[in-house]
Amino acid sequence: MTTQTSSPTTNPAVRKLEPATLWNHFADLNKIPRPSKKEERVIAFMRSFGESLGLETVVDDVGNVIIRKPASPGMENRVPIVMQSHLDMVCQKNADTEFDFDNQGIEMQVDGDWVAAAGTTLGADNGIGVAAIMAVLSASDIEHPAIEGLFTIDEETGMTGAQGLQGGVLNGQILLNLDTEDDDELTIGCAGGVNVTAVRSYIPVDAPAGTNGYKLAVRGLRGGHSGMDIALGRGNANKIMNRLLWGAASEFGISVAEVDGGGLRNAIPRESFALMAVDSDRADDFKAWVDSQANVIQSEYCQTDPDLQISVESLNQVPDQVVPKELQKSLLGCLYCVPNGIYRMSPSIPGLVQTSNNLARVLIKEGEIQIKNLTRSSVGSERADLANAIRALLELTQAEIEISGDYPGWQPEPGSAIVQLMSSLYQELFGEAAHVAACHAGLECGLLGKNYPEMQLISFGPNIRGAHSPDEKVQISSVQKFWSFLLATLKRIPTN
């Protein structure tokens, strides 16, 4: 097993990258553990940062940090702006990496034109945006209007920071969200989302006599962001595992003891593991069947997930207890039918996923069942309809269903002044047109716009790949491009 330990300093090569002030702030930030819903240390870090600069620094009732910096000389008559990013990060690691996200800082490494982490998520989503705002706030040589740096909490697991931000707190008239992951894109709209959770308890029964114990594993999938990457057709470990379990139950009458697959709602599941009991007389046939199914499934996903591994191994002993047969049948059948991936493409915006679902977490263990979904759509009624369909299906297992955490989409306004300004500026700086579009990810702009309906909103950022997975990386040259675009935008903000 690969062991990761925290270090008092990050990889020194990261601190030597340009722009140095941005990368050094990113390195400092990545020393602070900051899982979603556990942001106390990073909130304190940001408060200390703002106060050390002598800037007005406020922490609101939910934990958002707001740092205000007056306009630079000669820019006092420009429109005041909000620069916004979220403090929390998705915490995912490879199964063979030992890492404690609650207590360790991220270990970064430079690989050519990319910065990545060793076996874990990097936190570039949205740490690079946070670092860029910190670099502007701490600079003395950047031209800018009056700025409010808004650092929200818990974006990744509920957007409770954006939801809790009260109207009347911010003075800015334009919001620059720095949470887009393609440097040629200006994001002007996004999907909303809602959580669908099923929970129930059951009384385990003794495993049948005359059986052998087996462990089935699905691993090596690419995973990724359940919004931005959902259109790539990558495998979902929970769906693949359930396909195998349902088939094995039909063919061999297996008894499932445990299933543990996936993790966070906004990450496409990369791994799933299951324990089961199989009739001893059919053990060899069962193992051969798994191997044959593995070949079929690997062939199906050879383009999107070339490292997919499906394995079965004998256990030293049979699991003591298993799921009752009738519950197992209804549970595996319902999970087989839960929609996953693209549900509907936008009929009005070519190439845009309108509605999707991610079967994010399946846990069946010791008398408890948890099934977690994240349903996204840019159309609120369609999002609610799909969530209700999933609810109706999972209710067949006699589970209690909770629909929670609903957040709105962000309706595009392509004619706004900031969209026109930044589109023109991008063309001027880089000699090509920016891709102005909505995305299927969930951005905080929709929520922030509810209490600030007159505020103009736009999102942009550098190239980040593999977000929400241990493959996450950020492109160094793209960060340089993003930084130059950001500074040029600040300089061009119009007068009041």
Determine whether 88 is an active site residue.
yes
- Return d(Cα 202, Cα 210) in angstroms, integer: 24
- Within 10 angstroms of residue 431's Cβ, the number of other Cβ atoms is 7
SS3 assignment, position 118: coil
Q: Output the DSSP codes for 261-327.
A: EE--TTB----EEEEEEEEGGGHHHHHHHHHHHHHHHHHHTTTT-TT-EEEEEE-SS--SEE--HHH
Task: Specify the pairing of strand 114-117 against strand 473-475.
Answer: antiparallel
Selecting among 39, 88, 107, 148, the annotated active-site residue is 88
SS3 labels along 415-436: CCHHHHHHHHHHHHHHCCCCEE
63: left (phi over 0), alpha (psi -120 to 50) or beta: left
- Return d(Cα 479, Cα 238) in angstroms, integer: 35
- Return d(Cα 113, Cα 475) in angstroms, integer: 6
Closest CA to 467 of 455, 478, 475: 475
Contact (CB, 8 A) for 75 and 144:
yes
Determine whether 326 is an active site residue.
no
Q: Kindly tell me the burial class for residue 465, based on how many C-beta atoms sit within 10 Å of its own C-beta (0-12, 13-18, 19 or more).
A: buried
Say which amino acid occupies 221.
L
Selecting among 39, 148, 155, 305, the annotated active-site residue is 155
Q: Kindly tell me the burial class for residue 109, based on how many C-beta atoms sit within 10 Å of its own C-beta (0-12, 13-18, 19 or more).
A: middle
Owner of token pair 């709602």: 265
Catalytic sites, residue numbers: 88, 155
